[in-house]
């Protein structure tokens, strides 16, 4: 590529000028999922050092236009996927309906005492045992969300040992005859906490979408799951069908 003329004696920083030029090219020429030239290639093109290019790229990552994939490079972000929130929402079905491969990874499984909001939403007494499952959900091997599932231990004591991944709701339906129905979802935005940013491959200073959901058994309306989901906000848009 030919060298691009930058205003080196003007009031605007060089990295900011490069970021603007790249933003225009992303809007005009590049397609979602396309790989950006390497930092070395961009540095040569703009006649600057890699540090200046990296700062420009970081600005565009922060703006939600690019994402850096470890060991693969920097890519133009896809348009956010529709994630439907409904009474029977399932992560796997949502993404497979969009032609994407859904997968999950269990991060931890524990029995803990019910406290505070968990006890209230599951209508349990304080310190009643609940199964806590933490999972990372991916679409086409790209992290989408981290979910904390809390379920009362009494009706499904085998869950901790028997469940090894995949759709939790499908497992409960097939192995325990428990079909779940969502009755409430509270949506808010917050900065990632703990190791969520690292798991989701995103900056610590960008917000996630937090969805608190209560799922009950279809047969009798007993609360069977309280789930706290943290979505990468740049990869999904929540669709609430009324």
**3-state secondary structure string, the chain?**
CCCCCCCCCCCCCHHHHHHHHHHHHHHHCCCCCCECCCHHHHHHHHCCCHHHHHHHHHHHHHCCCEEEECCCEEEECCCCEEEEECCCCCHHHHHHCCCCCEEEEEEEEEEEECCHHHHHHHCCCCCCEEEEEEEEEEECCEEEEEEEEEEECCCCCCHHHHCCCCCHHHHHHHHHCCCEEEEEEEEEEECCCCCHHHHHCCCCCCCEEEEEEEEEECCCCCEEEEEEEEEECCCEEEEECC
Supply the pLDDT for residue 11.
77
Its pTM stands at 0.73
Calculate mean pLDDT across residues 164-189. Answer: 92
Calculate mean pLDDT across residues 205-214. Answer: 93
The band of 242, judged by pLDDT with boundaries at 50, 70 and 90, is: low
| 4-8, 113-117, 174-178: range with lowest mean pLDDT | 4-8
| 60-69, 109-118, 166-175: range with lowest mean pLDDT | 60-69
Q: pLDDT digit string (tens) for 91-125?
A: 777 777 777 788 899 999 999 999 999 999 999 99
117: Cβ–Cβ under 8 A, 6 or more apart, which residues? 226
């Amino acid at each position: 590529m030919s060298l691009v003329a930058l205003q080196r004696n003007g009031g605007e920083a060089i990295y900011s000028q490069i970021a603007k030029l790249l933003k225009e090219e992303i809007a005009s020429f590049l397609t979602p999922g396309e790989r950006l030239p390497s930092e070395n290639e961009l540095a040569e093109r703009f006649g600057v050092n890699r540090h200046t290019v990296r700062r420009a790229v970081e600005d565009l990552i922060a703006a939600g236009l690019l994402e850096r994939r470890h060991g693969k490079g920097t890519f133009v972000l896809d348009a956010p996927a529709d994630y439907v929130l409904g009474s029977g929402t399932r992560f796997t079905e949502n993404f497979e309906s969009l032609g994407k491969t859904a997968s999950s990874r269990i991060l931890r499984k524990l029995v803990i005492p019910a406290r505070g909001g968990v006890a209230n939403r599951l209508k349990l007494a304080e310190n009643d045992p609940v199964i806590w499952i933490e999972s990372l959900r991916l679409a086409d091997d790209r992290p989408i969300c981290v979910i904390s599932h809390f379920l009362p231990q009494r009706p499904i004591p085998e869950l901790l040992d028997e469940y090894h991944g995949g759709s939790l709701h499908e497992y409960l339906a097939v192995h325990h005859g428990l079909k779940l129905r969502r009755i409430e979802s509270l949506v808010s935005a917050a900065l990632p906490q703990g190791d969520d940013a690292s798991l989701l491959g995103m900056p610590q200073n960008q917000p996630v979408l937090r969805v608190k959901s209560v799922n009950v058994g279809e047969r009798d309306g007993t609360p069977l799951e309280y789930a706290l989901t943290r979505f990468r906000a740049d990869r999904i848009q929540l669709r609430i069908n009324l």
